Amino acid sequence: MLKNEIERVLTNAERLNDQLGSFLSIERGHALGRAEAIEDAAGELPLRGLAIAIKDNICTKDIRTSCGSRILANYTAHYDATAVQRLNAAGAVTIGKTNMDEFAMGSSNENSAFGPARNPWDPERVPGGSSGGSAVAVASGVVDVALGSETGGSVRQPAALCGIYGLKPTYGRISRYGLVAFASSLDAIGIFGSSAGKIADVLGIIAGRDPLDSTSADVAVPDYSAMLDRSLAGKRIGVPRAFFGEGLDEEVRAAVDASIENLRSLGCEVVDVELPHAKYGIAVYYIIATAEASSNLARYDGVRYGVRAEDAHELRQMYFKTREEGFGPEVKRRIMLGTYVLSSGYYDAYYAKAQKVRALVRDDYAAAFANCDFVLTPTSPTTAFRMGERSDDPLAMYLSDIYTVSANLAGLPAISIPCGLSSESLPIGVQLVGNYWAEGELLNAANIYGTEHPLDAKPLIHAE
């Protein structure tokens, strides 16, 4: 019975959460009620009974959406995000909301106001961020699919560190309605899966134009699941060799080099490509993203929703105290950076220039795709690092996303594929970036690669 299966999933989620901290809330009553209703429902439901976890910055009706922040600790949305609404209509069952870096600002999940999520391969290490909780929920075997969000790598990087698949779609492929905004020109809902096939099943349901999101694209949604298992013979893999230089861990380099040879053995042709402006990606990203965050987070002022500071006797004092008490250090840092780059006298020097370089990054990819089908890079420069290792070094933390941010800047789809284990049995991921709307081709490549070269290992902590 479906209800028994959902009960098993919930039991695993509850049992592992004390060790891994992947969920901020586990919705037992909601999930069992949904399972019962779905079991009795007539008609075809393509995701009937699929247990799914949702990142806690994606709105869910009558279920708390905290964004991992004290300032929204008691906020409950009165509507479902479009992606959630479409999952519900297809018969999926949300079992809970997952842990995350506060307002999706982080690369380790250590910035959550409610404590970190932990990597199931080694609980003393980070799972990556900001969608760490969703990655852990899939990697630990609690669910096969989870939704996350991406602004600069927040699906692909934790997918790599946790040994699973993580897809960031083309900007506009999935509606952002109901995704709490961080940086609106970069944000995207992404999908974690235990396999590329699972991601394909879900993407086909939630992708497509949404009149509630003006940035969603009116582009036909193919049958992604039907696009799997196509031959990779003749596909051209572009490799930017400059990405394999300083800062890349030697074991990661070796695993990614091996993945290139594995793709060659599957019939792919490997060619060199140049992405000359990608080296500016981190600098450009942390100007544009923080500027947009400064604007988007101005709404959290204690007036309309969320936490309101007590003992504030006039309006400005209430604004100040609410934001001081409600936001964590990393969010404050990014708001200040964003406010600075948008301020009078600095806008042209920083923000306007960053937008120009962003256009050059996009042009670099266009030139590369004239000669190849996919661009291949490492997903993360290192395997999962230890808790607290980079907490006092923001630059080192930001560089965790050095290989992922450029796809967000260009709005391109990209996927992280498990490609090996380090000598310490920590997962390593390889990234494929595709041209616009090439999610089906990326998922096909990931599916074939995973079938022919599976990871064949389970994390230390795993569901029964």
Sheet holding 165-168, edge to edge: 23-26, 93-98, 51-55, 145-150, 188-193, 165-168, 414-421, 427-434, 374-378, 236-239, 269-272
- For position 360, what pLDDT does the model report? 98
Where are the extended beta strands (E) located within 202-346? 236-239, 269-272
Which candidate, 359, 27, 408, 441, places its Cα nearest to that of 187? Answer: 408
The pLDDT of residue 41 is above 90? no
- For position 42, what pLDDT does the model report? 78
The pLDDT of residue 312 is above 90? no
- For position 447, what pLDDT does the model report? 98
- For position 404, what pLDDT does the model report? 98
Annotation says 406 is catalytic: no
| Multiple choice CATH, 2-232+413-452, 3.40.50.620, 3.90.1300.10, 1.10.287.130, 3.40.605.10 | 3.90.1300.10
464 falls in which pLDDT band (50, 70, 90)?
confident
With contact defined as beta carbons under 8 Å apart, do 270 and 264 qualify? yes
Q: What is the pLDDT of residues 17-28, one digit of tens each?
A: 999 999 999 999
Q: What is the pLDDT of residues 123-141, one digit of tens each?
A: 999 999 999 999 999 999 9
With contact defined as beta carbons under 8 Å apart, do 166 and 189 qualify? no
317 falls in which pLDDT band (50, 70, 90)?
very high
Average pLDDT over residues 390-408: 94
The pLDDT of residue 306 is above 90? no
Annotation says 235 is catalytic: no
The pLDDT of residue 103 is above 90? yes
The residues near 442 (Cβ < 8 Å, ≥ 6 apart) are 167, 374, 413, 414, 415, 432, 434
> Average per-residue pLDDT in the chain?
96
**How far apart are the C-alpha atoms of 49 and 45, rounded to whole Å?**
9
Residue of 66, 131, 140, 154 marked active site: 154
Global pTM reads 0.97
43 falls in which pLDDT band (50, 70, 90)?
confident
**How far apart are the C-alpha atoms of 445 and 259, rounded to whole Å?**
12
Q: What is the pLDDT of residues 245-259, one digit of tens each?
A: 889 999 999 999 999
The residues near 413 (Cβ < 8 Å, ≥ 6 apart) are 167, 168, 169, 170, 173, 407, 433, 434, 436, 437, 438, 439, 442
Which candidate, 271, 439, 431, places its Cα nearest to that of 367? Answer: 271
349 falls in which pLDDT band (50, 70, 90)?
very high
- For position 310, what pLDDT does the model report? 86
Residue of 69, 108, 130, 140 marked active site: 130
355 falls in which pLDDT band (50, 70, 90)?
very high
Residue of 25, 55, 134, 294 marked active site: 55
40 falls in which pLDDT band (50, 70, 90)?
confident
Annotation says 154 is catalytic: yes
Average pLDDT over residues 419-440: 98
Average pLDDT over residues 180-195: 98
- For position 363, what pLDDT does the model report? 98
Among 4-13, 40-49, 63-72, the minimum mean pLDDT is found in 40-49
Which candidate, 194, 100, 186, 170, places its Cα nearest to that of 418? Answer: 194
Radius of gyration of the chain (CA): 21
**How far apart are the C-alpha atoms of 383 and 451, rounded to whole Å?**
23
Per the structure block, which two tokens stand in for 242?
Answer: 């400059």
**How far apart are the C-alpha atoms of 303 and 301, rounded to whole Å?**
6
Q: What is the pLDDT of residues 195-204, one digit of tens each?
A: 999 999 999 9
178 falls in which pLDDT band (50, 70, 90)?
very high
**How far apart are the C-alpha atoms of 5 and 136, rounded to whole Å?**
20
Strand, helix or coil for residue 190: strand
DSSP 220: -
With contact defined as beta carbons under 8 Å apart, do 96 and 154 qualify? no
DSSP 241: G
**How far apart are the C-alpha atoms of 181 and 151, rounded to whole Å?**
10
Which candidate, 215, 178, 100, places its Cα nearest to that of 146? Answer: 100
Helix (H) or strand (E) holding 260: helix 250-265
> What is the percentage of the chain residues whose pLDDT exceeds 70?
100
